[in-house]
Structure 1
């Protein structure tokens, strides 16, 4: 059954790109000064135009413009869900995330602050609430990946904003979420066309805010377990007010147009002549090992005879292992690429020769012999190559289920860990189905979804305490394909799932991401210490990470 509002449905995303340009132009009241008070040049921003601009900016700078850049690209590589890009070898520079950094600080954040200020003056509490929740989400992610960042003096008024402590920022963000939830209760009236995430739904924004608080409380459980446990227990006491269904997911939906290009950045990178790098062999190996049907959705094989290093002895899963820095052979038309989930590329229904009758869920039922349907050899860069209308899962039902399971397992919050684990797996398989069927792919049969989730439950019952945690975090890591930031966060917090040893690392594992070099060479508060300040990012944990 197709969800009605499980993620954003946009008929023409180019309209919103136009809105984004308007939003950038109308970023703050100061930009609208006109001594003649010309009605055609208003001095006050229009909130219904500025809000979607912030949402496009948030998603755009999070997801990047291609598979290899932006926070998502780098974190997907460092968490070994991709096997390409400098972060695949733990190497980063001051330019690695400069685009995301500058996009957030010069676009998203000033516009959010404008909405909060102007909306408060006008009593437009719906817009204020949404802006505050987006602010809390964005800053929490920025603290997660960068640690200490400009916060109290960010927004444009201070040319040299100080870098605030990450723990202090988190503390402030908990208050921002509470303020936003209170603002919703003051009266919520937001144009559905102005809200690209939830189409003006107060209920869904409230669920998002409470789920964000849940995620952040779980994130700090190592440094403040008592507070984390108490806060999570309070939230799960009213669990029906959290994100509890895929239709309530905080997810960005990409478009399908080419001009302007509104398609998923992974699709744009991988479905062109240059490709986007290499798919991850650890991901493929783990999916095959657990008989996981998502392999056909995550990875598309362009040549079923290819193996590692472009050999002709394989079954098409031609990717790379982490840290492989060897030069690329002439393999642009033979390497495996991303599939239909989450980028809305192609569903792979070709034969997988190594599968046997023991493969119940990853099987060859209905597979095409000799080639994958929609093969590039048949329809190179035509309409057969998918739509690109994929998703960016930011905070979802499956994530909330896994977070609650982790909290129950580590903080004794009283919930059924096994059931939450199974519910999280099932929710994600259903999300994969929705993206696939919306983009011309096949669906995982309902019986297989239930059967696969039940098998995970049986494995959980058979595991010891350590094994239960390993199983939980492995399942979450697999489901987080599409949001590398959360996979990166989870690994630093739990050390799970265990990452593969790099073939040729260029540095040590990055505990934080590098700051934008432009910031460090222009912000007078850090210019004098910029080299040392930057280098510490590689080996200094974020405040909530106390693992050795």
Structure 2
């Protein structure tokens, strides 16, 4: 299916509910001047492409911003140095409302009228997922009164906790209730050939969508676990842990292709593999993986310099690894020669090049076909490890889930490598990393670090570090996990360091432009144009409701 061509065709035909790209508040709701009815099988792929693009690892995607905050990436826009304004996130905010959520709501409304329960259930799960991600970044947002078109062009900003849990007066349906309704609709839906063709994610498999829905509930209960008693969390998650969840090979993700006209390659690849790459690689992220002898390094990062080569007149050089540090005080942060020598995102996150050691002089193999991962099987297993450790107090079960998560993480890389035609990691390489024993302990493999930890916080550090590494390419959940657990520890400019929150100081060679934020700023235009919006930005130190 020609993804971008579909979007362009629909836009020209006027079947979008609104014009994608309108960057003012009123795009939060359906523009009544445009048609609000079309065939469900043309709207679903539009919503799914927008979801992956707006949340994903690309120049306008929220994962690129959040990976910057988490020191995995750094771009000249400065978010990795904690510089944000009321204009920083207007693009993905607007597009999620105008393209993804609005078209998705039409599927729900029209599908309900037509009794197309498969479409309705899928769209409800997508709605719950996207709104949960937006709450995790912004807190209070337009929700219950959003997407209503001319009926309400100035919706209120609902409380973040009400969006998750529902309001006490029943006026707001919470995300958990929405997921349950979606699962009920999937259960009563007959097979539908048009859904099979239109669904770019699960090809119409209602079983896989239901597994995703239950896994999403588990994820969200885990995220808000500190807002409830342990007994309550146990009662919430135990039935889900015993249910059918995402299986290996059943990840929520959007696949890309090698097509150039129209360009259906991974959008992160399209930007970073041109004459002026968007992103630099986080120094400490790269070096920590190298120090731990992680065999995924050659899949995660592509060094344009050959093995054993180096260069000069760059901001940061470690052998053939070249980058620019967030907030660097060095003299080469804007070097015109950076593009030709800097280390790039590799095969795993964006379909870039597998690093075979030959540098940019080797035979080009990058195809840009790596999928945009959203919610995966390995993420499910890391969530289970966290719950077993911190809620169910079962260290042995947490360790077993960690082992499953680790193997799933490596399997995911190998799957992407096999599709690309690149070498895959051997069992010996994988086990060598997982079981490695080294001095100091910080350089050991995850199981040795877990087994030698003396308390649950140190064990949780192991789980969350491995989840952080596995999730490279999807930063929204990494940023959320860090704020709610303070794990894994990352290194930032000394001005922004706060060891109590897991923010360790770097070597002093960088200068922060702000504090590490607890949340994102709203687009300023929304605050100005909507009379029911907050009158001012929430302080960057104010926390999302689950952050305790």
Q: Could you tell me the TM-score, scaled by structure 2's length?
A: 0.85
Q: Please say if residues 98 and 515 of structure 1, whose CA atoms lie closer than 8 Å, have aligned partners that are also in contact.
A: yes
1:252 correspondence with 2:259: no
Provide the C-alpha distance between the structure 1 equivalents of 2:13 and 2:459, rounded to a whole number of angstroms.
Answer: 47
The offset of 1:426, in angstroms, is: 0.9
Task: Look up the match of 2:158.
Answer: 164
Provide the C-alpha distance between the structure 1 equivalents of 2:316 and 2:47, rounded to a whole number of angstroms.
Answer: 48
Q: Please say if residues 306 and 334 of structure 1, whose CA atoms lie closer than 8 Å, have aligned partners that are also in contact.
A: no
1:480 correspondence with 2:471: yes
Provide the C-alpha distance between the structure 1 equivalents of 2:475 and 2:353, rounded to a whole number of angstroms.
Answer: 21
Provide the C-alpha distance between the structure 2 equivalents of 1:399 and 1:95, rounded to a whole number of angstroms.
Answer: 31
Q: Map of 1:94-173 to 2, 5 A cutoff?
A: 94-155=86-147, 156=149, 157-171=151-165, 172-173=174-175
The offset of 1:262, in angstroms, is: 2.2
1:58 correspondence with 2:51: yes
Give a deviation string over 1:15-64, Cα, whole Å, max 9, x none.
Answer: 54456537972439x98999xxxxxxx98421111111111111122126
1:88 correspondence with 2:80: yes
Give a deviation string over 1:274-293, Cα, whole Å, max 9, x none.
Answer: 11131111111110121100
3-state SS of 1:274 partner = coil
Q: Map of 1:424-443 to 2, 5 A cutoff?
A: 424-443=405-424
From 228, 246, 257, give the equivalent of 1:224: 228
The offset of 1:525, in angstroms, is: 1.8
Task: Look up the match of 1:360.
Answer: none
Give a deviation string over 1:278-329, Cα, whole Å, max 9, x none.
Answer: 1111111110121100111111111143368628974211124443265322
Instruction: Please give the root-mean-square deviation of Cα atoms over the aligned residues, in Å.
Output: 2.5
1:402 correspondence with 2:386: no
Query: Residues 103 and 462 of structure 1: is their aligned pair in 2 closer, same or farther, counting only changes over 3 Å?
Result: same
Task: Look up the match of 1:214.
Answer: 218
The offset of 1:450, in angstroms, is: 3.6
5+ unaligned residues in a row in structure 1: which ranges? 1-9, 35-41, 351-371
Q: Please say if residues 315 and 323 of structure 2, whose CA atoms lie closer than 8 Å, have aligned partners that are also in contact.
A: no
Query: Residues 43 and 54 of structure 1: is their aligned pair in 2 closer, same or farther, counting only changes over 3 Å?
Result: closer
1:344 correspondence with 2:335: no
3-state SS of 1:251 partner = strand
Provide the C-alpha distance between the structure 2 equivalents of 1:337 and 1:540, rounded to a whole number of angstroms.
Answer: 34
Task: Look up the match of 2:429.
Answer: 448
Provide the C-alpha distance between the structure 2 equivalents of 1:24 and 1:62, rounded to a whole number of angstroms.
Answer: 25
3-state SS of 1:394 partner = strand
Q: Please say if residues 24 and 53 of structure 1, whose CA atoms lie closer than 8 Å, have aligned partners that are also in contact.
A: no
Provide the C-alpha distance between the structure 1 equivalents of 2:14 and 2:136, rounded to a whole number of angstroms.
Answer: 26
Provide the C-alpha distance between the structure 2 equivalents of 1:507 and 1:312, rounded to a whole number of angstroms.
Answer: 22
Provide the C-alpha distance between the structure 2 equivalents of 1:185 and 1:417, rounded to a whole number of angstroms.
Answer: 32
Task: Look up the match of 2:245.
Answer: 242
From 388, 391, 394, give the equivalent of 1:411: 391
Query: Residues 540 and 33 of structure 1: is their aligned pair in 2 closer, same or farther, counting only changes over 3 Å?
Result: closer
Query: Residues 164 and 314 of structure 1: is their aligned pair in 2 closer, same or farther, counting only changes over 3 Å?
Result: closer
5+ unaligned residues in a row in structure 2: which ranges? 19-29, 166-173, 437-445, 494-509
Task: Look up the match of 2:453.
Answer: 463
3-state SS of 1:444 partner = coil
Task: Look up the match of 2:498.
Answer: none
The offset of 1:152, in angstroms, is: 0.9
Give a deviation string over 1:496-547, Cα, whole Å, max 9, x none.
Answer: 1112021211111111111122212211223xx64xx22x24111101001x
Q: Map of 1:353-432 to 2, 5 A cutoff?
A: 372=358, 375-378=359-362, 384-412=364-392, 414=394, 416-432=397-413
Provide the C-alpha distance between the structure 2 equivalents of 1:287 and 1:92, rounded to a whole number of angstroms.
Answer: 28
Q: Please say if residues 33 and 43 of structure 1, whose CA atoms lie closer than 8 Å, have aligned partners that are also in contact.
A: no
1:269 correspondence with 2:271: yes
Q: Please say if residues 388 and 397 of structure 2, whose CA atoms lie closer than 8 Å, have aligned partners that are also in contact.
A: yes
Query: Residues 313 and 102 of structure 1: is their aligned pair in 2 closer, same or farther, counting only changes over 3 Å?
Result: closer
Poorly superposed stretches of 4+, deviation over 6 Å: 30-34
Q: Please say if residues 299 and 338 of structure 1, whose CA atoms lie closer than 8 Å, have aligned partners that are also in contact.
A: yes
Provide the C-alpha distance between the structure 1 equivalents of 2:354 and 2:14, rounded to a whole number of angstroms.
Answer: 37
Task: Look up the match of 2:42.
Answer: 49
3-state SS of 1:25 partner = coil
Task: Look up the match of 2:489.
Answer: 498
Q: Could you tell me the TM-score, scaled by structure 1's length?
A: 0.85
Q: Please say if residues 423 and 453 of structure 1, whose CA atoms lie closer than 8 Å, have aligned partners that are also in contact.
A: no
From 11, 21, 25, give the equivalent of 1:21: 11
Q: Please say if residues 32 and 44 of structure 1, whose CA atoms lie closer than 8 Å, have aligned partners that are also in contact.
A: no
Deviates more, 1:199-208 or 1:270-279: 270-279
Task: Look up the match of 1:198.
Answer: 202
The offset of 1:244, in angstroms, is: 2.5
Give a deviation string over 1:84-107, Cα, whole Å, max 9, x none.
Answer: 331111011122111111111112
Provide the C-alpha distance between the structure 1 equivalents of 2:326 and 2:86, rounded to a whole number of angstroms.
Answer: 22
3-state SS of 1:192 partner = helix
Provide the C-alpha distance between the structure 2 equivalents of 1:134 and 1:198, rounded to a whole number of angstroms.
Answer: 12
3-state SS of 1:332 partner = helix
Equivalent pairs counted in the alignment come to: 492
